[in-house]
Amino acid sequence: MRVGDEVELTFHDLLVNGQGVGRLGSLAVFCWGPLPQERALVRITTLKARYAVATQLRLLSGSPHRVVPFCAAFGTCGGCQVQHMSYPAQLSWKREVVHNALRRIGGLHGVDVRNVIPSPRSRRYRNKVALVVEGGEQAPPQLGFFRQRTHELVEIESCPILVPELDDIVARLHSLRLEDRLGEVYRVARHFVARASSANGGSVLSITTEREAPEIARVAQHLLERLPRVRGIANSFDPTSANAVMGRENRTVAGTTAIEETIAGVRYRVSPESFFQVNPSVVAKIFALMHGGLAQPRKIVDLYCGAGTFSLYFAAAGSRVLGIEENPAAVREAEANAELNALQERVEFISARVEEAVVRPDIAARLREAEILFLDPPRKGSDEATLAAIVRARVPNVWYLSCDPATLARDLKFLTSNGYTVGIVQPFDMFPQTGHIETLVTLYCNAREIQAAVEAAFADTPPPEWPDDDQSSPTEYPDFVIRES
C-alpha cells in the first residue's frame, strides 16, 4: 500500500467528525463521504503504521439511509458532518456512539442507552452564528466558516441550519461587504457573531476585532439601518488567542446587546458573548425530563453553571440552588437573570474554578447537604478533584449533562468505580446534522432499591414531538427518577 493507490473499500462505521471507517486487513481507513454499508473507490492520501486517510473518488453502492444533502456547501463547510444521512438514521447512529463510548472507555457493558430524543426541528434550529471575516485589502472581504480541521475559509451566503432571522442577517452581511461606507468595519473585523431570540424574534450583533475599533462606532447606526432585524451592536476585542471568536472586552456601540429567551416559563437575558444553548427547544425537553425529580423542593448544587440556565429552572421549580462558575461575567448574568425571575431567595452563585471550590470547607459542607448534584462541564469533561469531592460527599443523586460521549464515559468510569451506579442514560439531539450529542445521565449511590421505581416511571409518558421534515416513529420519553436520601 502506497500513498496515491486507489482501492475499492466497504465501510462499516462512522466517526463523529463524519469520516467513514473501512478496513484493509488490519489497517483502518478513514474517508469523508461514505456511510456504513457503502462501498466506494477511494485514493489513499495519508499512510501511517496503523491507519490511512483516503479521498472518495466514486461511490459504488449506497446505503438505504443516504439522502441528498439540503445545503450546497455540505462537504466543504465544516459545520455539518451528516447531512447525507437520513434524520432517523442520525438518531440511531448517535445512540450507538454513546453506547460504544460507555462500553469501550467507561467499561459500562450493562448500561441501557435510551433512544435519542429528537430536536423539534432537524434544520433551522440554531440561534447563534459566528462568521469568519477574511481579506478586504485588495479584494472584497469574504465571510463564511472554516473547512473541517483547517483555517481555509468556505464562503457562506446562507445557512439552512440557522433560524430564519439569522440566515437573513448572514445574507445581508454578505451583501454589505461591498458597500464602501462599511468597508473599514469589514477590514478590522475578525468575526461577526449574531444571536437571535426565539421568544421575540430580536437579534443582536457583536463584531470581534483585535483592539477596540472606533470604526464600528462611527457607522453603527447606519449598520443598524441596513440590518433591520438587529437591535444592537457590540464591539468585542482583545481576544485571548488567534483562534478565539470573542474578546475579553465588550463594548455596546449601538442599541441594546441583550436578547431574551423563555424556556419552561423561565426568562433569560443573554448577550452575544454569553454561553447559552443554541437550540432552546431541546433545552425545554431536558427540563421536561428532569421535572419528575423536582416534584418537591430539593437542595441542589450546580457545577459549571454558566449563566444559570439550569440553576434558574431548578429554583423556579421550588428548589434551593448553589451555582458555581469560573467566568465572573457569566455569574453576573446569572445573578441578573435570578433577579429578572424574582428567584434571588432560592439561588446563590459563586465565581470560582470548580475544582478549587469543591475542596473549600464551606462548599464541601454544601455538597454533603445536597440531594442532587448537577454538572454540565465543558467538552473536556470534569476532573478527578471535582469527581473525588462528589464521591467524598456521597451526594445521593448525580445528574451529569455532557456534550462529549468520550469524556462522559471517562468520568462515569471514575464515579462507578467509587460507589455510584448509573440510572438513566438519555441522549438528546441538540445539534441535528452534526456529530455532536448531548447526553443526560443519572447516578445513584445505591441503585438496587430504585430499579422498580425507574421502570414504573417510564410507563405512560407522552412522546416528544417529531420534526415536521422527518416522519418516523417517536422515541420513548421517560420521566425522571430521584432517590430519596
> What is the rounded CA–CA span in Å between residue 328 and residue 34?
45
393: amino acid identity, one letter: A
Among residues 1, 89, 113, 176, the alpha carbon closest in space to that of 425 is found at: 113
User: C-alpha cell of 294?
Assistant: 423536582
pTM: 0.89
CA-nearest of 153, 107, 105, 97 to 130 is 153
Q: 372 near 300, Cβ under 8 Å?
A: yes
Catalytic pick among 71, 80, 159, 403: 403
Listed as ranges, residues in the chain with pLDDT below 50 are 447-464, 466, 471-485
Amino acid present at 74: F
Q: How far apart are the C-alpha atoms of 484 and 295, rounded to whole Å? A: 12
**According to the model, what pLDDT value does residue 139 have?**
77
- Domains annotated for the chain, with CATH where assigned, are 6-66 (2.40.50.140), 91-121+278-457 (3.40.50.150), 128-261 (2.40.50.1070)
Chain centroid, CA 340 distance in Å: 25
The Cα angle at residue 308 between residues 304 and 309, in degrees rounded to 5? 105
Query: What is the β-pairing status of strands 372-375 and 299-303?
Result: parallel
| Separation of alpha carbons 154 and 143, rounded Å | 8
Query: What does the chain come to in residues?
Result: 485
pLDDT at 148: 79
Task: Using alpha carbons only, give the angle 414, 310, 118 rounded to the nearest 5 degrees.
Answer: 80
Asked if 159 is an active-site residue, the reply is no
Res 273: pLDDT: 77
Rounded CA separation 248/261 (Å): 24
Per-residue model confidence (pLDDT) at position 136: 63
Torsion of CA 68, 74, 78, 79, to 10 degrees: -70
Name residue 142's beta-bridge partners. 134
Look at residue 137 in the predicted model and tell me its pLDDT. 66
